[in-house]
Amino acid sequence: MSDIYHFSRGTAPLLISIPHLGSQLPDAQRARMTEVGLQSGDTDWHLDTLYRFADALGASVLGARYSRYVVDLNRPPNDESLYPGQTKTGLCPTHTFRGEALYLNHAALTDDEREHRLQTYWLPYHAKLREELDRIRAEHGTVLLWEAHSIASVLPRLFDGKLPDLNLGTAGGASCAPDILDAVTANLPGCGYTSAVNGRFKGGYITRHYGSPAEDIHAVQLEMCQSTYMDESYPYAYQPDTAAKVIPVVEGMVRAALNQTLARKR
């Protein structure tokens, strides 16, 4: 067992990564944080519950334990912008998505602290991610990496208006084979939810860095509006009746992607 992440090993060529699942904060960091920072509000809440169907698909599941306010596992280690020209949330954030300060007196982080977080939290998660992708590909000849994310549906600091309910990203088509994405999106029309493909969210660092169709590693990111399954305000409660409507849609997309990934090796 790791203190940095949760992991369960499956039997299928499918790895579901949930890098923003965690909400834990180290004690030393908590002592310096604002009340809003302590709420860990930009967590991808309850996705472990939403993706419980993963076991039935034979998926391996990797999920973070620590908050993205410690270090953002879906940002590059050099902290370069993933979306040049747009508001950057950063490797070690100092503000919430809404622009609220995370640290008392707007304290800044030192380079040594950022490096400590990178070494202590970021690197172990990515080492496990790389290990499992390589293991699954060696066993099955291919692997589907499904990046599971969620976000508040309205965040004026990051995007205009309301975000579509389901946002799929494949790094503009570079991180997975076109037929896999086609399989994922085939049933979206008429599913009852709005959607976008490679729109505001094209996939973060994990999707872009690990997705390599030429090497039989196919990566797809799904960024869901949290309004499809939970309350978007503190204390961020899960809404079972609301979630029950979207879970079959999400499961259908993952299943279609997995089936098409398997079909490519037959």
Distances (CA, A) of 44 to 13, 20, 68, 78: 24, 5, 9, 23
Number of separate domains in the chain: 1
Closest CA to 5 of 20, 15, 13, 14: 20
Torsion of Cα atoms, 242 then 243 then 245 then 251, to 10°: 170
pLDDT in tens, 66-88: 999 999 999 999 999 888 888 88
| Secondary structure element (H or E) that encloses residue 107, with its range | none
Domain that holds residue 180: 5-265
Q: Where are the alpha helices (DSSP H) in the chain?
A: 27-30, 35-38, 47-50, 54-57, 111-117, 123-140, 178-185, 205-210, 240-263
According to DSSP, the β-strands at 143-151 and 217-225 are parallel
Chain-centroid distance, C-alpha 1: 21
Asked if pLDDT for residue 212 goes beyond 90, the answer is: yes
Mean pLDDT of the region 153-169: 96
pLDDT at residue 110 greater than cutoff 90: yes
Query: Half-sphere exposure of 245 toward its Cβ, with a 13 Å CA cutoff?
Result: 12
Q: Does the CA dihedral 37-239-154-172 come out positive or negative?
A: positive
Question: Does the pTM exceed 0.95?
Answer: yes
The CATH number for 120's domain is 3.40.630.40
Give residue-wise pLDDT tens across range 162-177: 999 999 999 999 999 9
* Number of C-beta neighbours around residue 111 at 10 A: 7
- pLDDT surpasses 80 at 7: yes
Per-residue pLDDT tens over the stretch 30-57: 999 999 999 999 999 999 999 999 999 9
